[in-house]
Amino acid sequence: MENYSALVTGGAQGIGKAICSSLVQAGMQVLLLDNDRVAGRAAEQELGPQAHFLHGDAASEADVRRAVAQAQKLGRGLHAAVANTGISIHKPVTRLTLQQWRRVQAVNLDAPFLLAKHAAPKLKKSHGAMVLIGSSRALMSEPDWEAYGASKGGVVALAHALAISLGPAVRVNCVSPGWVATDAWQRPDRRKPPKLSAQDHAQHPAGRVGRPEDVAALVRFLLSPEAGFITGAHYLADGGMTRKMIYS
């Protein structure tokens, strides 16, 4: 994918940064849009000259429009877009304010919509691809995750809707991570080795907690020409947890 260009929202830390790193390794020019200046500048330096940081809010239409315009200038058009932004508010539904609910929906669901809206014309010209990052919490829940679960359920549905609307020129898929330890992929002042117990790993059918690199490898494949027959699909990168029946 040399000389391809990609735009990754929320690309300065965690899974987003791992995705940027993977795409850079594949030879792509990557623009990472993020609202954390410290993390964004650090990621730009660590990932090398093919990574380009743009400060902005992925839930702002003006910022997304600006990011798409800048990303397509990095290569011969825009070839790939990854909607990775996500926040959560863990709070009982009876105490969750409408403002908090709407902010989660804005960052987690409005942002992928805005990216698709403004990137689609560029991706059609390049016959590119798009990946939305969902969550296994779109399919299963713990108490008090209503705002996050609803937003990520919307992301899963948005992905297959876009695949139908934008195909065949643009392929769109969704990747939903499960438990992924992102501690080592944070900005330098927050970086630390993950604290994981043997039980944390053992409860996964795959035998371990996920790493950002696991998700990044799948995203890179879905954006590549080798995945040319894959669109409208939903992939779980969760170590098998959503397929595990748990009895007490």
Catalytic residues: 148
Polymer length in residues for the chain: 248
Q: At what angle do helices 98-105 and 146-166 cross, to 10 degrees?
A: 30
CA distance 52 to 46: 11
Mind giving me the DSSP string for 152-212? HHHHHHHHHHHHHHHTTTSEEEEEEE-SB--GGGS-GGG-------HHHHHTSTTSS-B-H
Is-contact 127 77, C-beta < 8 A?
no
CA distance 84 to 62: 18
Helix count (H) and strand count (E) of the chain? 8, 7
Is-contact 241 205, C-beta < 8 A?
yes
Number of Cβ atoms within 10 Å of the Cβ of 95: 8
- φ, ψ for residue 100, nearest 5 deg: -65, -45
Number of Cβ atoms within 10 Å of the Cβ of 37: 12
Comparing C-alpha atoms, which of 34, 36, 7 is closest to residue 188?
36
